[in-house]
Amino acid sequence: MRTSIATVSLSGSLTEKLDAAARAGFDGVEIFENDLLASPLTPEEIRARCADLGLSIDLYQPMRDVEAVPEAEFARNLRRARHKFELMRRLGADTVLVCSSVSPHAVDDDALAAEQLSRLADTAREFGVRVAYEALAWGRHVSTYDHAWRIVETAGHPALGTCLDSFHILSRGSDPRGIEDIPGEKIFFLQLADAPLLAMDVLQWSRHYRCFPGQGGFDVAGLVRHVLAAGYDGPLSLEVFNDVFRQAEAGPTAVDARRSLLLLQETVGRAALPEPVVPTGVAFAELVTPDAEPLTALLRALGFTRTARHRGKPVALWEQGDARILVNTGPAVRRDGAQLAAIGLESPDPAGAARRAEALLAPVLPRRRAAEDAALEAVAAPDGTELFFCAGDGSGPPGWRADFEDTGRPATGGGVRGIDHLALTQPWHHFDEAALFHRGVLGLDARESVDVADPYGLLRSRAVTSADGGVRIVLTVGAAPTDDTVHAQHIALATDDVVAAARRFREAGGGLLPVPANYYDDLAARFEFAEGELETYRDLGILYDRDADGVFRHCYTRTVGRVFFELVQREGGYRGYGAANAPVRLAAQHAVRGLTGG
């Protein structure tokens, strides 16, 4: 199927928008009128530019409040329409969108609406244009798709059809099954948008909070199935009004958009993508740092041993249990030091995982890091984190471990079993994209997004996990674009006894994040503890959470560069990440930063 995107979904000038859409692989665009008006390019130049880029102009949207109005007003509308149809001829666009009227002058008269739309279609035909009539969810008299279709059917004009928009249909809770009763050839266009399920004024919801399919709460795929069953064979076109996308760079937004359509096409059986290959575990986490010393000290105190070093690069492998941390002092990194740069994911089929990622527009990273290294399949996540797909079971190509030479020191251990989860700070403009990426590309499940109060603004946090918990990644985003780099990433290490692990860490000279005494007074009010238990937690800065399924105990190291570690102990079926304790942890981290000026 052909794919298209409305220019209003992307930021920048019309030229930037067209370039971004073409680069992301869209077949066409809907040109939003304001983008054309504000462009210094003539319609002919826009047409030529689209042709050069391989983009068709699938829709133009210059008309509002056209139909079901008094004759004098309709005459003015028709005059205006002639101008616009002439423009469309210059532009080479053959379908015009007409939304149901919101004018206070519109009358509730379907026969009049049909008659005037028919006359509009007569005029359009003179210019080789066809009219797609769409019900706005807040249309004055016509607000449902079946009503718009009845008017189109009444008009019975060959140049008049209907346009369906998933937002307008699903935001009203209309049943999309009725779409199958519309003859496919009379569905002139299909606009797609998802949206989070918000209880708010539908116009504001539509204008500010739309998102790409799969990023909201609507069953967009279900609707598309009905439209395809009706026989529609036009493009799938995204029309997304979103305050964040308006600010984001057009290039990444266009890729995000196209990926969402590819996943949608897969869901409805119209795209054959390589099967998802769900990762089974975390092979390694790679930290990049200009100065290994502070990290090395931290890892040693946590009980890690430097078990191997890379044969060709300044990369050390630190191990403990199933937790493997690479410390890479090679790449130039920013002054603020250590950061989590790459994740190795154990995969039952690394090549297959990479094929799917590539098909879903993830940038594929150079395969070989040096001639003698193992061939590692790697792609970049939207936040720039490198994801390496590693054979987990010893089969297939030689694993990444073969690139490392043993130091001969065994990993004795300080009680860490493995990596519980990784927490990654996301670029502000691409949080929803990140969740869709991890879901669609890696086949992970996305949990609900939660708000967390930081002293300097709310954070949002969302976990993406494999079904068995082998891979858990927590995506976090700050309150504003400026916060992109404020919040550190972290590696949470699983332990069976967080008290013992924390003690060992402290005895080895590790610095634990101090937690205020008031927090423990509150724990005492909320829960009952065994004799001395709370004092132990207070002493070590261990936080405590409990849900219906189990208990979660966790504590934090001091931050090095932009990275810190967490020690966690999960008991029972506890599935969260201690979000209830996050405000206290964040405040403590700000307090420490304030003290050290770091």
Q: Which two tokens stand for residue 86?
A: 């002439």
d(CA 95, CA 97): 7
Residue 79 within binding range of its own copies, rule CB under 8 A: yes
Select from 6, 382, 441 the least CA-distant residue to 263.
Answer: 441
421 carries a ligand binding annotation:
yes
The answer on whether 134 is annotated among ligand-binding residues is yes
Decide if residue 87 touches its own copies (CB under 8 A): yes
Q: Taking a C-beta distance cutoff of 8 angstroms, is the pair 153, 178 a contact?
A: no
- Is 481 a residue that touches its own copies (CB under 8 A)? yes
Does position 217 interact with its own copies (CB under 8 A)? The reply is: no
Longest CA–CA span in the chain (Å) reads 91
- 516: contact with its own copies by CB under 8 A: yes
Q: What is the 3-state secondary structure (H, E, C) of 353-415?
A: HHHHHHHCCCCECCCCCCCCCCCCEEEECCCCCEEEEEECCCCCCCCHHHHEEECCCCCCCCC
Among 104, 371, 408, 518, binds its own copies (CB under 8 A): 518
> Per-residue string for binding with its own copies, 425-464, x by CB under 8 A?
----------------------------x-xxxx------
Rounded to 10 degrees, what is the CA torsion of 239, 241, 247, 252?
-30
Write the interaction track for its own copies spanning residues 554-583; mark x where CB under 8 A is met and - where it is not.
-----------------------------x
Structure tokens at 293: 């010393």
Q: Is 43 in the site for its own copies (CB under 8 A)?
A: yes
Q: Please select the residue that binds its own copies; options are 200, 229, 370, 402, rule is CB under 8 A.
A: 200
Q: Which of 480, 496, 535, 549 binds its own copies (CB under 8 A)?
A: 480
Q: Is 124 in the site for its own copies (CB under 8 A)?
A: no
Q: Which stretch binds its own copies (CB under 8 A): 145-153, 199-207, 227-235, 541-549?
A: 199-207
Residue 199 is a binding residue for its own copies (CB under 8 A): yes
Q: If binding is defined by CB under 8 A, does position 93 make contact with its own copies? A: no
**CA–CA separation, 355 vs 361, rounded Å?**
10
Would you call 561 helix, strand, or coil by DSSP? coil
Annotated binding residue 191? yes
Angle in degrees, CA 361, 367, 368, rounded to 5: 165
239 is in an annotated binding site: yes
Q: What is the DSSP string of 574-598?
A: --S--GGGHHHHHHHHHHHHHHHT-
The span of 41-49, 92-100, 440-448, 531-539 binding its own copies (CB under 8 A) equals: 41-49
For 196-235, b/e burial (b = at least 16 CB within 10 A) is: eeeeeebeebbeebbbbbbbbebebbebbbbbbebebebb
Question: Which of residues 80 and 367 has its CB atom nearest to its own copies in the complex?
Answer: 80
The residues in 45-74 that bind its own copies, with binding defined as CB under 8 A, are 62
> What DSSP letter does each residue of 304-320 carry, written as one string?
-EEEEEESSSSEEEEEE
Q: Which of 482, 485, 535, 572 binds its own copies (CB under 8 A)?
A: 482
Alpha helices in 106-190 (DSSP H): 110-126, 145-155, 166-170
Q: Which of residues 230-289 bind its own copies (CB under 8 A)?
A: 243, 246-247
Return residues touching its own copies (CB under 8 A). Answer: 11-13, 33-34, 36-43, 62, 79-80, 83-84, 87, 198-201, 204, 243, 246-247, 453, 455-458, 479-482, 514, 516-519, 521-522, 524-526, 583-584, 586-588, 590-591, 594
**Binding-site residues from annotation:** 134, 165, 191, 239, 421, 490, 566
